[in-house]
């Protein structure tokens, strides 16, 4: 009896049109976004395909980077310098990082939802763990904060700076806890107080050899990728050739698995037609957005002062004729009272202006 049921079920299965199932699954997959993952990045390195990474810190920059099909978006603690005006990355807090991570995640989602591409590319989202959130002997602090970056910030992975044994232990603990980690060696901006400023690293044979050991240490700890910042190109290539995981260079030559630049630097966000802004020596400027911003703001100011803006074209909201007549009647009804209030306000403002024009000692300036 049991055998007959099994035979009957197997017969029904054998007669089922599996080609329709395969066709259906194929159509479903075609609607799924192409997501960049830690595994796909490793595959890119093996295939010799360069990896692109750009920083983003807010909703609009995230939309622009996603539209460009960049592989990785790094919500970097460089936000402290290019967005918040600090001299270093050290003042950035975890709450501030999460705030910017959330904006970037929303920007990527919105850009993908509005895309005309049938399969929009979803970049891997990596958030910098800011200074003071993972360096403790208690490794659970690093794991707890990494969880916040993923759960609250919407990140796919986090980035930790440094290649010491203790840093490798922290990375292993975070990875074992279920959070993907990108490493970062060479110039590590969070350690600026220790390394004596924003200085290139690995320029001696001994230090360059140490960097290979650091990179291997991070790979063994479970990092899926390592950023190499401000190191000689031959050193970066040696590290890249040694590792199985990808490397992302910034000021590290062309021998790495990929490249990263800061959004504001590469697009010339702070550029100005009449004076030069500081630009890192390793950064290529792909646009002069700051020029266009300055020109746009100047044009707006002139249009406002001349009365050319807004023209009728940019004044779209109108009342119908009946409402206009009713409004004019209301204005006429209390015109005298409004004029009295206007004159009173004018008198008070003139008195305040006269008071402000006097110097501390009573004489006119």
Q: How far apart are CA 63 and CA 96, in angstroms?
A: 20
Alpha helices by DSSP H, listed for the chain, are 2-14, 18-30, 38-47, 59-67, 79-82, 94-113, 139-151, 165-176, 192-195, 205-221, 233-242, 263-266, 289-306, 321-333, 335-356
Tell me whether residue 229 is one of the annotated catalytic residues. Answer: yes
Q: Which residues contact 125 (CB under 8 A, 6 or more apart)?
A: 72, 73, 75, 101, 104, 105, 108, 154, 155, 156, 157
Phi and psi, residue 274, nearest 5°: -110, -5
Give one word for 197, left, alpha or beta, with left for phi > 0 and alpha for psi -120 to 50.
left
Among residues 135, 229, 276, 337, which one is catalytic? Answer: 229
Q: How far apart are CA 75 and CA 213, in angstroms?
A: 27
Q: Which residue has the tokens 């099994």?
A: 6
Contact 78, 189 (CB under 8 A): yes
Q: Which pair of tokens denotes residue 339?
A: 């004029």
Contact 88, 36 (CB under 8 A): no
Q: Which pair of tokens denotes residue 83?
A: 């967005």
Q: How far apart are CA 217 and CA 170, in angstroms?
A: 12
Enumerate the active-site residues: 229
């Amino acid at each position: 009896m049991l055998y007959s049921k099994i035979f009957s079920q197997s017969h029904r299965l054998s007669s089922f049109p599996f080609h329709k199932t395969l066709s259906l699954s194929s159509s479903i997959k075609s609607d799924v976004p192409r997501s960049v993952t830690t595994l796909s990045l490793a595959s890119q390195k093996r295939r010799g395909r360069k990896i692109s990474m750009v920083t983003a810190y807010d909703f609009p920059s995230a939309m622009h980077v996603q539209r460009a099909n960049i592989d990785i978006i790094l919500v970097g603690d460089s936000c402290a310098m290019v967005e918040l005006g600090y001299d270093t990355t050290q003042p950035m807090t975890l709450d501030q990082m999460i705030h910017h991570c959330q904006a970037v995640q929303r920007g990527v989602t919105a850009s993908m939802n509005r895309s005309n591409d049938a399969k929009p590319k979803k970049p891997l989202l990596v958030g910098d763990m800011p200074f003071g959130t993972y360096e403790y002997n208690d490794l659970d602090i690093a794991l707890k904060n990494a969880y916040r970056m993923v759960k609250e910030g919407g990140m796919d992975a986090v980035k930790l700076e440094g290649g010491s044994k203790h840093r490798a232990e922290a990375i292993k603990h975070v990875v074992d806890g279920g959070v993907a980690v990108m490493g970062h060696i060479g110039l590590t901006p969070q350690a600026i107080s220790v390394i004596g400023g924003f200085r290139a690293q690995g320029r001696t044979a001994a230090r360059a050899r140490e960097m290979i050991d650091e990179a291997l240490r991070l790979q063994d700890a479970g990092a899926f990728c390592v950023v190499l910042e401000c190191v000689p190109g031959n050193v970066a290539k040696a590290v890249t050739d040694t590792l199985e995981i990808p490397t992302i260079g910034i000021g590290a030559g062309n021998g790495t698995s990929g490249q990263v630049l800061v959004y504001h630097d590469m697009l010339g966000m702070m550029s100005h037609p009449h004076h030069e802004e500081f630009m890192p020596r390793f950064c290529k400027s792909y646009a002069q957005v700051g020029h266009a911003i300055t020109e746009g703001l100047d044009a707006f100011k002139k249009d406002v002062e001349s009365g050319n803006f807004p023209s009728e074209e940019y004044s779209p909201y109108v009342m119908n004729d009946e409402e206009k007549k009713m409004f004019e009647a209301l204005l006429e009804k209390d015109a005298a009272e409004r004029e009295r209030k206007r004159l009173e306000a004018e008198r008070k403002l003139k008195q305040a202006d006269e008071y402000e024009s006097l110097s501390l000692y009573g004489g006119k300036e």
